[in-house]
Chain A
Amino acid sequence: MMEALNAGLALLLLALAVWTIVARDAFAAVAGFIAYGLLLTLAWVQLSGVDVALTEAAIGGGLTGALLIGAVGRLRDTEATARVERPKALTRALAALVAGAVTVALALCVLTLPDPAPTLAPDVAANIAATGVGNPITAVLLAFRAMDTLLEAIVLVFALIGVWSLAPDRAWGGRPGVRHVADPNGILAYIARVLPPIGIIVGMYIFWAGADHPGGKFQGATILAAMWLLVMMAGLTDAPPISRAWLRIGLVAGPLVFIAIGLAGAVTAGAFLAYPDGYAKPLIIVIELALMPTLALILALLLVGAPQRTIQR
């Protein structure tokens, strides 16, 4: 029974991926991609990656989908030109050949994977007690491979700097994105008033539960970011000007706290990002608390985009 469901899920994923690629209309392709992202979360659950499923639903399906929908709306007038540029049959055949060759090579790799599979699960199980957290993913993210998470937070800051640096000179320092106008008595404004208190609690819960259960700062921060975006899209508030000092401090505070604790570890525990005995859990919580607002700010502002409104000087 489960096998049939899995096979159906895999087929549906493939069909949606093909639709995303061949659909004539870009909006239809993006809609297919969002459905694809949501279905992918089911595949993650089937692969016992509930933490990954939460991340995929929040970021892969939700935020990426919203980002692409916004872009489709603004690029509508470019689709007709692109259709004319469709490559010739020979190019398409060669592309199919390359894609097919890569697929076959990868499939052969999959079928010849070593058995039993190499795994670090026993090592994680043996050392998780030292971290004080119950969720192995959180232990890996914040203790065993904390360097990855630190670098990831820094990559996010760089991505936002990259997006902002695309602002034309006349808009530099101003508010990013467009000012949303919505009916103040409409359903969107109503939802934007009712939903955020619930969303903030859910986000904080997912963050807090992440220590021992599936969840964590990424998933929690995405929900907080979504709530902020909702309020912005309903026109109830506007994105802050990117030159604001509090905003810039907020964007680097998380990584800086992370680095500071890492350096302290070099002194007290003998290695960068090492935690002294008995202090692992409190330090992990401090890092997560510091990272969460930074992540929420960055994720929301990445979606809002570059400043483009001319500011009067």
Chain B
Amino acid sequence: MNEATLFALCAVLLVGAGLYGLIVNPHPLRKILAFNVVGSGVFLLLGAIARRGAGAGFGGDPVPQALLITGIVVAFSATALAVALLLRLHDAAGSVTLASEVPPKVEPDAGSR
């Protein structure tokens, strides 16, 4: 088995593991972590596909590799936004639960609007 197939299969398992964590972990921060594991699995899969496209003197197809760099940066910005939303929820509600039966608490600064 060459390294492209090996890491592609590794990537597939990472996606599966991350997907399981995304569904099962109740804490939103753990869901963000699991989502990042899924994302890195997708990136690794694309990286393995880029490796298969090696040619013309390049070790991998540079087009998907460039897309990967873009993707990693965008994934970071999305994670930062998700974490900011979560911290705001924590400040506003005092908890971060996603369960539907918990009554929503009033936002502390709602009166100032």
Contact = CB atoms under 8 A, between A and B. Distances in A.
Interface residues on B, range: 35 or more
Interface in A121-144: 121-122, 124-126, 136-137, 139-141, 144
Contacts of B29: 26, 68, 71-72, 75
B73 to A, nearest CB: 6
Contacts of B15: 102-103, 106
A103 B16 contact: yes
A189 B19 CA distance: 41
Given A118-B53, A120-B61, A140-B62, A87 B24 contact: yes
Nearest to A103: B16
Contacts of A100: 16
Contacts of A145: 63, 66-67
A48 B59 contact: yes
A121 B13 contact: no
A71 B83 contact: yes
B72 A162 contact: no
B87 to A, nearest CB: 6
Given A107-B12, A110-B8, A169-B109, A117 B27 contact: no
A6 interface: yes
A111 B8 CA distance: 9
Interface in A63-78: 63-64, 67-68, 71-72, 74-75, 78
Interface stretch (A37-45, A226-234, A266-274): A37-45
Nearest to B40: A40
Contacts of B6: 3, 6-7, 10
A21 interface: yes
A21 B20 contact: yes
Interface in B1-29: 1, 3-10, 12-21, 23-27, 29
Contacts of A86: 24, 26
A71 B14 CA distance: 23
A170 interface: yes
> Which 4 A-B pairs give the minimum distances between C-beta atoms?
A48-B59, A119-B53, A103-B16, A21-B21
18 contacts: A26-B30, A33-B33, A47-B7, A49-B59, A59-B73, A64-B75, A67-B80, A85-B97, A95-B23, A102-B15, A102-B16, A102-B19, A117-B49, A119-B61, A120-B61, A121-B60, A124-B56, A160-B77
